[in-house]
């Protein structure tokens, strides 16, 4: 836990940690779970995430857990944590979940099985993916979003864009780190001053973005190395802006 009540990174398995929060604790769930989509065969999926998502060899950021499930298992698992996360959110709370094109149908199924209302899919345009002859570039990832029941128009939240254009971060400390500015844009779907939950915090980008935008935030991260990296990164970044 952090010594700062505005944010915390809890080291543990989201499925176990989520059940420890009281109903109505959070105002939004904004998260980037392991997609378990790297690799076409199960043997490729089972490789270390450092091999699947980096070509930096020994200099790659640490590998992370939870990325080797086949699609049926991933969908069941996602429905479980999405259900637990919804139970600890206020009525009307938004949910935003990153996903790629392979897992998009599974993600929208899981979200709805968990009882969220699926309201749309925003686009993160990364711009720089590998060109493929005779094929469309896979240059986007997606943000499946919805709400915990009704989501009144009267919420004090402005109009938000549906497409976000940001390149992958330079000098990443996480294999699948999201751009900080992208996350600063996304957290704005939360009511001002709300408390945001990221059950798959990685290097803490969502938590840092939330605090920089005036929210409080709880991140959960199962991989020890990343929980420690996230805490150090957030502390340092917040010191730098003071
Ligand atoms: C896609 S990454 C998140 C990256 C993050 N958005 C960032 O910018 O650094 C998913 C993270 O979820 C973590 N994870 C996997 N299974 C988990 C679980 N059951 N509970 C909590 N964290 C988990 C992984 O260790 C990984 O760091």
Distance 35 CA to ligand 1 centre (A): 9
Residue 102 lies in a domain: yes
Residue among 29, 63, 200 to mutate when testing ligand 1 (max atoms within 8 A of CB) = 200
- Joined together, the tokens standing for residue 38 give 């790297």
How many domains are there within the chain? Answer: 1
Residue 1 lies in a domain: no
Q: How far apart are CA 186 and CA 33, in angstroms?
A: 15
Distance 197 CA to ligand 1 centre (A): 13
Reported as a single tens digit per residue, the pLDDT across 152-199 is 999 999 999 999 999 999 888 888 899 999 999 999 999 999 999 999
Residue 2 lies in a domain: no
Contacts of 200 (CB under 8 A, 6+ apart): 14, 31, 32, 33, 34, 66, 220, 221
Range of the domain at 129: 7-241
Residue 54 lies in a domain: yes
Residue 100 lies in a domain: yes
User: CATH number, domain at 43?
Assistant: 3.40.50.150
pLDDT of residue 40: 72
Report percent pLDDT > 90 for the chain. 78
Q: How far apart are CA 183 and CA 90, in angstroms?
A: 21
51: pLDDT confidence band, cut at 50, 70 and 90? Answer: confident
């Amino acid at each position: 836990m952090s010594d700062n009540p505005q944010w915390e990174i809890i080291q543990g398995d989201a499925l176990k940690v989520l059940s420890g929060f009281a109903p109505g604790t959070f105002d939004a769930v904004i998260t980037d779970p392991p997609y378990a989509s790297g690799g076409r065969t199960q043997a490729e999926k089972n490789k270390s995430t450092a091999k699947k998502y980096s070509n930096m060899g020994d200099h790659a950021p640490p590998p992370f857990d939870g990325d080797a499930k086949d699609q049926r298992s991933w969908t069941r698992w996602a429905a479980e944590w999405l259900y637990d996360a919804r139970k600890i959110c206020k009525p009307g709370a938004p949910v935003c979940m990153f996903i790629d094109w392979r897992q998009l149908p599974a993600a929208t199924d899981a979200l709805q099985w968990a009882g969220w209302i699926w309201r749309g899919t925003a686009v993160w345009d990364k711009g720089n993916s590998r060109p493929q002859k005779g094929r469309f570039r896979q240059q986007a990832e997606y943000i499946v979003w919805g709400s915990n029941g009704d989501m009144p128009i009267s919420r004090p939240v402005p109009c938000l864009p549906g497409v976000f254009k940001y390149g992958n971060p330079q000098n990443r400390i996480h294999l699948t780190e999201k751009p900080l500015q992208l996350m600063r844009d996304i957290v704005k779907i939360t009511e001002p001053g709300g408390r945001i939950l990221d059950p798959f915090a990685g290097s803490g980008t969502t938590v840092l973005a939330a605090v920089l935008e005036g929210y409080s935030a709880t991140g959960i991260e199962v991989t020890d190395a990343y929980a420690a990296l996230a805490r150090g990164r957030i502390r340092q970044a917040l010191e730098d802006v003071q």
